[in-house]
Amino acid sequence: MKQRRKERERESREKKTRKKKREITKSPFVCLCVCERCGAHAMTRLRTKACGALCIYYPISFSKKNASRVHRSMMTTATTVATRTSNTAFLGTRCVNKRRGVGRDDRRRRWSSTGASCSSIGSDDEGEAVKVIHRRKALLAASGLVLGTKCYEKSINDDNEEAKAFIDLPSRLHNRYFLVRHGESTLDVRNQILSNPSYKYDTTYGLTAKGVEQVHEAARIILEEYDGSPSWLYTSNFQRSFQTALVMREDLGLLFSEVRTEFSGLLDPRKMGSLDFQDRSNWKEVWENDLRDPLSTPPPVSDSLQPSASVESVRDLYRRTLEAFTRLEASYFGTDIVLVSHADTLSCFCAALYGTDLGRHHLDYPFELGQVRCVDMSGIPGKGSKVSPTDIQGEYAVGDKAVNYL
């Protein structure tokens, strides 16, 4: 009897040891991703064609304990939409349909799956409210459920309230921003356009001696004319911008640890497709198209594997603005921040921040080489202003309060 008991205890210990080893080798987190544009979801960070645009998946990790709660929340969270008279679901593109188990070649299918999202559905009876599952909002709600944030309360308990992932523009900002265009580079001397990321580390396209002088002057303007005291300097990693940031860092007295190189492309030049290495006079036609249609793009690179990814419209630059300033406003409070970038990128930033016409960005906010613009929206908005009086945290400016807007 004693021997059998010892054998059972030994087997039990071995089972526990094997179980621990399996738990160590497995990741303790589950990553659920959701597309910022169309709401499609996946278990990994992917780039696929969906809704006529590049799907961009933002991963959020949850512990495995809470994974089932997240999944349940994703399947049950819904938002109320306007009434429709048809019960037909219009699903997105081929890859989305394949992922959701819907026939790839048949884009118009009866509503038969609760797992479909980013769809427009209705009811047979007029006047009946319809619930549609939106995976992006559901995931945001689920993140609030697990992380204990207000996002869950707003999305689950109040169906009419949208879960917000980005700052609302134009909006009050609680930091002051200095937008600086890079100094003169060899490309400006040659009068050429270059936006292809393949050349971003090529020092051939760095600053000229005149460009360095322009950067010194820009730093002087920040310190003396604006009485600036920058704490952080963010720069595009194209050489003409990066070298500008290095010169400016010394003049502003910043440490290397206070310089951030933006590798995600938010501060990159506007993608110009087949106009790269062409004469700058081609900008005129691009800007005329911007005035007519904010969704227009320069001509893409025809032999590219993904031609649409080689160009950007001003609406694409607006999306960049949302992401960049959401990150900055959520990370810093009451500081001066320098952003070193390129002409069209910075002019679209200004148009988005001030709430003016995006198509007129090059007319309203032109940037010369080495020019500085200060964006200070930390105060109380003027009467009749389109700018929201609250910042990303819902706070009013000093001396301002909600009753002033009743």
Distance CA 232, CA 336 (A): 7
Joined together, the tokens standing for residue 62 give 């949850």
Residues of the chain with pLDDT under 70: 20-165
The tens digit of pLDDT for each residue in 123-179 reads 334 444 434 445 445 544 544 443 344 443 444 444 445 546 678 889 999 999 999
Residue 102: phi and psi, rounded to 5, are -110, 145
Residue 88: phi and psi, rounded to 5, are -95, 135
Joined together, the tokens standing for residue 255 give 């440490």
Distance CA 328, CA 305 (A): 33
Centre a 10 Å sphere on the Cβ of residue 301 and count the other Cβ atoms it contains.
20
Distance CA 60, CA 125 (A): 38
One-letter amino acid for residue 199 of the chain:
Y
| pLDDT for 23 | 56
Greatest alpha-carbon pair distance for the chain in Å reads: 94
| pLDDT for 10 | 85
| pLDDT for 1 | 73
One-letter amino acid for residue 100 of the chain:
R
The tens digit of pLDDT for each residue in 346-391 reads 999 999 999 999 999 999 999 999 999 999 999 998 888 888 898 8
What's the CATH architecture for 176-376?
A: 3-Layer(aba) Sandwich (3.40)
| pLDDT for 191 | 95
Residue 87: phi and psi, rounded to 5, are -105, 30
203 CB-near residues (< 8 Å, 6+ apart): 239
Place of tokens 């997105």: 92
Q: Residue 402 — left, alpha, or beta (φ > 0 → left; ψ -120 to 50 → alpha)?
A: alpha
Closest C-alpha among 256, 237, 223, 232 to residue 339? 232
Rg of the chain in Å (alpha carbons): 26
Residue 190: phi and psi, rounded to 5, are -80, -5
Give the residue range(s) of CATH 3.40.50.1240 domains in the chain. 176-376
Place of tokens 């304990």: 65
Helix (H, G, I), strand (E, B) or coil at 179: strand
| pLDDT for 67 | 52
Q: Residue 131 — left, alpha, or beta (φ > 0 → left; ψ -120 to 50 → alpha)?
A: beta
Helix (H, G, I), strand (E, B) or coil at 315: helix
pTM over 0.75: no
Closest C-alpha among 311, 184, 321, 283 to residue 239? 184
